[in-house]
Amino acid sequence: MSLAGDTKSDIEYTMLSEKNPRPSSPSFNVKLRPFVTRRILLTCIALILLSLLLHHAYYVRENMLGDVLAATSSSAGVYQPALNEFGQPLEESEQSDLDEPVLEFETQFDYEERGAFTPYRIHGFDNTGAPGGEYIGKNLSCSSLSHSASVGVQESFFLHDNLMEIAADLDKHPMIDYRPTVGRIDQDRYALSKIVNDSWDRLATACVFMSDYGVYLCVSRVIYHPGGSKDVCRISFLRGQIFSESWIHLDRYRLKWKDQEIVFPKIFDTETEYDIGGSLYGPEDARIIIEEGVEGAEPVVVFNMISTQSDWRRAIWVFRPFSQRSHILTVRDTERAQTEKNWAPFFVREADEDQSSTSKRQPSNYIHFVWRFEPLTVLKCHLISGMCDIVFQQTVLDELRSHHDDHDASLRGGTQLVPVPMSHKNPGSFGSPGVQAFAAFPRTHSENAGGCGMAVYRPELAVLVTNTTHFYLTYGSKVIDFGAGMVMDEETIVDVCTRGRIMITNSIARWDMNAHDARGVQTDVITLTLSVDDSTVQVLRLSGIWDLLKSLPSLTGYFEQTSVNGAPEFPAIEHAEDAWQDERIRAVDSFERANAAAWDVRACLEESVLEYVRHSSDLHNKNNERKDREKQDLKVKIIQEEEQRRKAEEDEKVKLADEEKRIKEEEEQKKKLEDEDQKRKEEEQQQKKKDKAHEEKKVKQKEKEKQLTKEKKPVGDKGDEGVPKKGPKRPEFDEGEVKDKVDNKVENTADSWDDGFEKVEPKYDPAAKEYWGEELN
């Protein structure tokens, strides 16, 4: 699958069955076909076409008010760019005067375009050439070597890269398989950008300024880690990029070198060996260096890599990025270590080199390395054969060795070593090959220091001096963290035991001796590339480093030399303040003195790192104690608040229960009253019905009595005695009693009545509860 789409694309891919994937375009990797559908394929093609139109706008372009990139070219046509950052042809400048200093670059760049330089104090140790030890009768103290000077620091800025572009360039590589990444995502749908971001990273960028060309060449380690951990990557690649003088990325930049044209950015072919299913293949920890003062010099990239040539041990390689040649380095008459890392490269001018101003320097066939700092060991390696020889190994006389505490800090290679101009007035003069000085920013590795529990890495400034056969460390600074806000924030700098514990300088990208500050005063500016926690690529500038070096007593004699071809004293050592000590010291070979003091410089540097880490770890521990107290206080507060909340909830529950009980009682009382009222009303209603019925009965009785009176007629001669009369009202009684009495009455009446009357059956009126007779016709 071609991955050269927009990095912000939200395209999502649905996982298809691996048994029957849909057909995809031949331009797509078959490893990604399980994710591809026809609709997605068409969408990708459309996005790719759109990205080609917008790709130029992906990288930030220079401000239209900025200076147009100036380029100088030689008559041989070395480093002829086809386009500048504006896509326009670069005009050839006139051939520079060969008599001019080699470091001169005519265009004065405004280094304060990104902000002013902030004062920063660098403390260190200078080699006085006066060692301690048994011979001198005292132990050398680090305070006697102390030196301090102020430089300027500009806030760093970040370099970013296009991971989508990288993934697209390497999509066809046999080691690239995104299934582990997709498995980690564990979703049915996933964005292409997420797959790429979870599989790729770019780190450890090292750069060098090509003065013939006026641009920076940068190399970065690109790692593919589908398993998720950057520490265990499957394979690494070497990526090259071109940046303008103001650090604008130049996309699709064409660089003409000899008979070929090289387009950047690109992935270099480093002859990497690998086995499918293995890991940790490819180049790591790349450093880059270019030979100063050599017209048309090809940069040299140094990295470590495993291969069959080293029996799969990690070995150092040199690589030429334009001619695409790579060679493994082998130290003669020594067994190859299991892991070779942190070799610091530099070019040494040979003692027999012609120093006349009219001659052109030719590219060297050799490159030197600081193999290790303790003891100081220097290698000289052939760039074609790759064979290295140990040309110097430090040994210190026991009687000149001062005691230093054992510690877990060690000085290791960081940046390349760059030559120091050895003249007060001419920044382009390196002086005689008999005395050469080199500046670098190595790093210290502090293991288990101060209770951090994890290794701490910090850069320092170091200066190496040589006469081509003997080497010694003449200066070493304490830890340089560049100050709060320059690379890391204040909280991170103060606490080295956590985030930001790894700060590594990867390259001295440029050392411009003809820079000027905001007031127009000439100064020097060093441009560094560095990284924090192997996750960032940052660029930082320092001003005044050359002034710091010129202030070192150990270099004063070298800077004061007046003849380019002269042979100054090596080492140039100042007289000791104590006459007896000076006389006794001068009886010892001058190099042995400087060499012994150099051992002290390195030891003091490493001890100062421990102090730095311990101080930080103390702050770390205090911060942890404070945080623990705050956590404990917060915990107590939370518990108290929880208890208060629980008590409040319980009180609220009790209150609610009481309220519910009160409401319930009120409702019950109300219901009781309502029931009583309802019962009373019902009783009243029943009473009214009874009264009404009683009244109706009375009325009905009266009406019946009236009716009965009207209907009565006399029968026979007996007068009123023969007429049945209505009996007197009798008291109320039940129907059974009435029936018995009526039966008796009827019988008696039947016996007593005369024959002249008809027998009348008495009837009972239930309403009136009375009996009366009914007249028969």
Tokens of 73: 């070219």
If you search the block for the tokens 């917060």, which residue do you land on? 634
Distance CA 772, CA 754 (A): 19
Distance CA 100, CA 84 (A): 26
pLDDT over threshold 70, residue 543 = yes
Q: Is residue 328 part of a domain?
A: no
Phi-psi region of 83 (alpha: psi -120 to 50; beta: other; left: phi over 0): beta
* Range 596-614 average pLDDT: 92
CA-nearest of 38, 654, 600 to 375 is: 600
728 or 439, which is more confident: 439
If you search the block for the tokens 């390195």, which residue do you land on? 602
Confidence (pLDDT) at 735: 55
The answer to which of 40-49, 193-202, 414-423, 695-704 has the lowest mean pLDDT is 40-49
The domain in which residue 763 lies consists of 723-772
How would residue 777 be classed by pLDDT, with cut points 50, 70 and 90? Answer: very low
Q: Is residue 759 part of a domain?
A: yes
* Range 533-562 average pLDDT: 90
The b-or-e profile of 619-641 (16+ CB within 10 A means b, else e) is bbbebeeeeeeeeeeeeeeeeee
Reported as a single tens digit per residue, the pLDDT across 733-775 is 455 555 555 555 545 554 444 444 444 455 555 555 454 444 4
Residue 478 and residue 124 in contact, taking contact as beta carbons nearer than 8 Å: yes
Distance CA 465, CA 570 (A): 9
Domain boundary among 58, 75, 92: 75
3-state secondary structure of 515: strand
DSSP 37-78: -HHHHHHHHHHHHHHHHHGGGTSPPPPTTSPPPP----TT-T
Tokens of 235: 């394979």
Distance CA 742, CA 249 (A): 135
657 or 732, which is more confident: 657
Q: Is residue 44 part of a domain?
A: yes
pTM score, two decimals? 0.71
H or E segment and range at residue 763? strand 763-765
Q: Cα dihedral sign for 165, 171, 173, 174?
A: positive
DSSP 160-197: ---HHHHHHHTTT-TT---HHHHHHH--SEEEHHHHHH
Confidence (pLDDT) at 367: 98
- Helix, strand, coil percentages (3-state) for the chain, rounded to 5, are 30, 25, 45
If you search the block for the tokens 């054992």, which residue do you land on? 406
CA 556-561-565 angle, to 5 degrees, is 140
How would residue 195 be classed by pLDDT, with cut points 50, 70 and 90? Answer: confident
Burial category of 125 from C-beta neighbours within 10 Å (exposed 0-12, middle 13-18, buried 19 and up) = buried
pLDDT over threshold 80, residue 465 = yes
Confidence (pLDDT) at 503: 95
Q: Is residue 172 part of a domain?
A: no
Confidence (pLDDT) at 189: 67
The b-or-e profile of 706-731 (16+ CB within 10 A means b, else e) is eeeeeeeeeeeeeeeeeebeeeeeee
Distance CA 302, CA 219 (A): 10
Residue 490 and residue 90 in contact, taking contact as beta carbons nearer than 8 Å: no
* Range 428-455 average pLDDT: 83
Q: Is residue 117 part of a domain?
A: no
How would residue 139 be classed by pLDDT, with cut points 50, 70 and 90? Answer: confident
Domain boundary among 53, 75, 97: 75
On average, the pLDDT of the chain sits at 79
DSSP 526-547: EEEEEEETTT--EEEEEE-HHH
pLDDT over threshold 90, residue 505 = yes
Domain boundary among 22, 52, 75: 75
Reported as a single tens digit per residue, the pLDDT across 532-541 is 998 899 999 9
Q: Is residue 737 part of a domain?
A: yes
7 or 522, which is more confident: 522
CA-nearest of 89, 102, 115, 101 to 254 is: 89
How would residue 155 be classed by pLDDT, with cut points 50, 70 and 90? Answer: very high
Domain count, the chain: 2
Q: Cα dihedral sign for 496, 500, 506, 509?
A: negative
Residue 628 and residue 636 in contact, taking contact as beta carbons nearer than 8 Å: no
Reported as a single tens digit per residue, the pLDDT across 360-372 is 778 999 999 999 9
Residue 461 and residue 111 in contact, taking contact as beta carbons nearer than 8 Å: no
pLDDT over threshold 60, residue 193 = yes
* Range 177-202 average pLDDT: 79
Tokens of 37: 């559908």
Percent of the chain with pLDDT over 70: 73
* Range 564-571 average pLDDT: 62
Q: Is residue 602 part of a domain?
A: no
Reported as a single tens digit per residue, the pLDDT across 659-682 is 888 898 898 898 889 888 899 998
pLDDT over threshold 50, residue 272 = yes
Confidence (pLDDT) at 645: 87
The b-or-e profile of 133-148 (16+ CB within 10 A means b, else e) is bebbeeebebeebebe
Tokens of 516: 């000027």
In sequence order, which residues have a C-beta less than 8 Å from that of residue 577 and are 6 or more positions away? none
* Range 590-617 average pLDDT: 90
Distance CA 79, CA 264 (A): 13
Q: Is residue 499 part of a domain?
A: no
Q: Which range, 15-24, 473-482, 638-647, has the best average confidence (pLDDT)? A: 473-482
How many CB atoms neighbour CB 750 within 10 A?
10
Confidence (pLDDT) at 243: 97
